[in-house]
Amino acid sequence: MKKVLISSFLLLLFFSFTGVAFAQRGSTLERIVVTPLGDTLEVKVFLSPYTYHRQFRVYNPNQIGIDFFDVRNVSASRNIDVGVLGINSIRITTLSPNVARVFFDLTDEFPPFITEEFSGGLRIIFWTEEEAPMVEEKVEITVEKVEENAICDLKVQPTRANPDDPIFIDMSDSQNAKSMVVEIFDPEGAKVASKELTPDSPQWEVNFDRPGEYVFKGKAFNIEGTASENPCEAVISINFPPSSKLECRKCEGIVGKVITLDASGSVDPDGEVIQVDFEIIDEEGNLVDRFSNTEKPFTWEKAFERKGVFSVTAVATDDLGAISEPSNVEVKIKQKKMYILFDIGALAARGEGTYTGYGTGRFGLAFKLSKRLDIILAARGGYTTNDSASWEQYFYSGDLIFNLHAGAVFIGLGGGYTARYQTTQPEYYGELLVNFGFDLFNNGRMIGSLFLEGAAPVVDLEPEDNYKVMLGFRLLF
């Protein structure tokens, strides 16, 4: 019994030491040393014991690699710049917990090489000569091609654009690809274009003249011509232009009165209206005024300064800068018919062989009978500081005057019934009124004029010794 227990203990101890030994066999890829030697390049991969490798393999036209097995740890630099003999860089990638792959990234054809093992790991020599450099041992290496699936990558920018804007297609990030193909389908699903691209020329520019959604479908093909299987698709939207709608709440008005031009009904089917531009054209096609509104509601409070028939247009702009077809309304503006009249001026009154100065004013109404004829109905008063016995300090009258206009110039004829301005005159008497003047300004709403006016009695008094002359300013509003 004692011998059985001792034998069991020894057997258990043997298996324990064996397991520990196997567990410690995992090795380290310690470092990679790159040494250019004239027309040759030496690469040493330093490894711990128990590591083995397989042959070089081609992974794509610009990449060759070698796998090292039973590698538990990588302490070497994972990316080494080389730039010699067409080898751009050396990279280390961990494929699984115990497999490391060393990639040689190429900028040219893969140069001739030989490999040999040394006590510290694996030595690889590349050269450019027809004959290999002298080494202790030549090892023939067969390069084996490994087919890797192509991975398609498709980028299309911008994702929203206006008709005829350039659209940029880019497949440069496709992997393991010898060639790529992109197909374009219109909003109805019909294929409208296709293009074969390559890694050297991976981009394409197109444009579309019709709004709607366009679908782009891509494929990448590896060196064996096998198509990629990953989803590779993009969708863009070609902008629909906005639609403008213009209304006026009252399309007939008078000079100087505000009319509201309303374009708040303008819409954009796939975005937002951000601006409406208004423009007013007269009957002769001349530009009268324009206005841009960038805030909702898109309205314009417009007071027309002269009469006529005007065409008002509105054009909407959306958030991508597309513009609508113009919409328009017709606005009829009539001349203002009635004005309040206010005259102020200085008056010289003739009587008893001398003149007396008065300050005078008139207040009343003016009516436009036609384009050239108007009538004034007003009351006038005058005052003087002269308190001589033969003169009244104030007088007043009621006046009716017709004015005929020729452009800015006008002449007038009328009559008045006035109180006396001299004590020797009858209490009231009739006068003949004549005036002449011209407009200083006329914006339709307000008219300012200078005028000269004369008044003389028509009966009982001698006109040449009983007249009045006034120089005044007239305001119609």
**Pairing verdict, β 233-238 and 212-221:** antiparallel
Hey, which residues does 391 pair with through a beta bridge? 422
Both tokens assigned to 206:
């197109």
Any idea how long the chain is?
A: 477
Query: Residue 83: what pLDDT?
Result: 82
The per-residue pLDDT for range 320-338, each reduced to its tens digit, is 999 999 999 999 998 888 9
The per-residue pLDDT for range 413-431, each reduced to its tens digit, is 999 999 988 877 878 889 9
CA 261 to chain centroid, in Å, comes to 25
If one looks up domain 338-476 in CATH, what number appears?
2.40.160.20
Q: What is the DSSP string of 86-130?
A: TEEEEEEEEEETTEEEEEEEESSSPPPEEEEEETTEEEEEEE-SS
H-helix or E-strand spanning residue 366 = strand 354-368
d(CA 204, CA 37): 44
Best CA proximity match to 170, nearest among 143, 203, 129: 203
Q: Count of H helices and E strands in the chain?
A: 1, 36
Query: Residue 344: what pLDDT?
Result: 98
Helix, strand, or coil here: 7?
helix
Query: Residue 11: what pLDDT?
Result: 45
d(CA 286, CA 283): 7
Query: Residue 389: what pLDDT?
Result: 58
Residue position matching structure tokens 């450019």? 128
Both tokens assigned to 231:
């989803």
H-helix or E-strand spanning residue 216 = strand 212-221
Hey, which residues does 52 pair with through a beta bridge? 69
d(CA 337, CA 331): 18
Q: What architecture does CATH give domain 155-238? A: Sandwich (2.60)
Helix, strand, or coil here: 184?
strand
d(CA 376, CA 402): 6
Query: Residue 79: what pLDDT?
Result: 85
DSSP structure class, residue 20: H
* Start-to-end CA span in the chain (Å): 136
Query: Residue 26: what pLDDT?
Result: 54
Domain locations in the chain as residue ranges: 27-145, 155-238, 247-334, 338-476
**Going by C-beta distance under 8 Å and a sequence separation of 6 or more, which residues neighbour residue 238?**
161, 162, 163, 208, 210, 211, 212, 213, 214
Residue position matching structure tokens 């009244």? 392
Both tokens assigned to 324:
């609508």
CATH class label, 247-334: mainly beta
Query: Residue 132: what pLDDT?
Result: 52
CA 466 to chain centroid, in Å, comes to 76
Residues 289-319 as b/e (b if ≥16 CB within 10 A, e otherwise) read eeeebeeeebbbebebeebeebebbbbbbbe
Q: Which residues of the chain have pLDDT under 70?
A: 1-26, 50, 52, 54-55, 129-147, 389
d(CA 244, CA 256): 27
CATH class label, 27-145: mainly beta
Q: 155-238 and 338-476 share one CATH topology?
A: no
How many alpha carbons lie under 13 Å from residue 59 in its C-beta half-sphere? 15
Helix, strand, or coil here: 133?
coil
